[in-house]
Chains A and B, each alone.
Chain A
Amino acid sequence: MSFLLLLLQDMALAAVPALGFGMLFHVHPRILLYCALFGAVGHGLRFLLMDRFLLPIEWGTLVAATVVSFVGVYVAQSLRAHPKVFTVAAMIPMVPGVRAYTAMLAIVQINQKGYSEALFQTAVQNALQAFFTIGALAVGLAMPGLILYRRKPVV
Chain B
Amino acid sequence: MAKPELDESEQRDVTRLCIQSGLLLMQHGAESALVESVIRRLGLALGVGSVEVAIMANALTVTTLSGGHCITTVRRNEDRGINMHVVTETQRMMLSVEAGQLDLARAMSRLEEIKPYKYPRWLVVVLIGLSCACFARLGKADWTGCGVTFVAAAVAMAARQQLAHLHFSPLVNFFVTAFVATSVAAQGLIYKLGETPKIAMASCVLLLVPGVPLINAVSDMVKGYINTGISRWTMATLLTISTCGGIVLAMNVWKVWAWL
Interface residues of A (CB under 8 A from B): 10, 13-14, 16-17, 19-28, 31, 80-82, 84-86, 88-89, 91-93, 95, 97-98, 100-102, 104-106, 108-109, 119, 122, 134-135, 137-139, 141-142, 145-146, 153, 155
Contacts and interface: CB of A to CB of B under 8 A. Distances in A.
B67 interface: no
Nearest to A17: B131
B134 A101 contact: no
Nearest to B132: A17
Given A86-B84, A98-B203, A104-B244, 12 more contacts: A13-B137, A21-B128, A23-B124, A25-B83, A28-B85, A97-B135, A108-B244, A108-B248, A137-B218, A138-B215, A142-B219, A145-B33
Q: Size class of B's contact patch?
A: 35 or more
A80 B211 contact: no
B21 interface: no
Contact of A27 (B85, B131, B216, B217): B85
B83 A101 contact: no
Interface in B202-232: 202-203, 205-207, 209, 211-212, 214-219, 222-223
Given A25-B212, A82-B88, A85-B88, A20 B219 contact: no
Contacts of A25: 29, 82-84, 212
A97 B260 contact: no
Contacts of A142: 219, 222-223
B59 to A, nearest CB: 22
Contacts of A95: 209, 211, 214-215
- Which applies to chain A's interface (DSSP): helix, strand, loop or mixed? helix
Interface stretch (B103-111, B112-120, B184-192): B112-120
B57 interface: no
Contact of A80 (B29, B30, B92, B130): B92
B89 to A, nearest CB: 9
Contact of B91 (A10, A28, A91, A155): A155
B141 to A, nearest CB: 11
Interface string B78-104: 000011111110011001000000000
Given A91-B215, A98-B206, A138-B219, A16 B134 contact: yes
Contacts of A106: 260
B83 A81 contact: no
A135 B214 CA distance: 9
